[in-house]
A = this chain, B = another copy of it.
Amino acid sequence: MQQERPFDLLNRVISQQVLIRLKNNLNIRGKVTSFDAHMNIVLDNAEELDANGELKAKLGTILLRGGNIIFVSPV
């Protein structure tokens, strides 16, 4: 059986909600619609959350640049 790889997780969460922690103290939640090898990710219904997880802004669809990501977490 082929060993699991980290990006397999991104494949599994296509069309699912994830929480993404970014370097600039930003937290963004949304539904994954696509990603690429640089961890660039497109989210639908994206929402910016504050440090307590409260809604800060509705962002709609966003293309998030992978270099800003600390971690991605299915919710």
Which residues of A pack against B, CB within 8 Å?
Answer: 3-10, 22-24, 26, 28, 33-36, 39-42, 46, 59-75
How many copies are assembled? Answer: 7
Q: How far is the CA of A71 from the CA of B48 in the complex (A)?
A: 11
Which B residues are CB-close (under 8 A) to A40? 6-7, 39
Which B residues are CB-close (under 8 A) to A71? 28, 46, 59, 62-65, 68
Q: Given A5-B36, A7-B36, A9-B42, verify A72-B68 contact (CB < 8 Å).
A: no
B62 A72 Cβ-Cβ under 8 A: yes
Say which residue of B6, B10, B63, B66 sits within 8 Å of A72 (CB atoms): B63
Q: Given A4-B33, A4-B34, verify A9-B74 contact (CB < 8 Å).
A: no
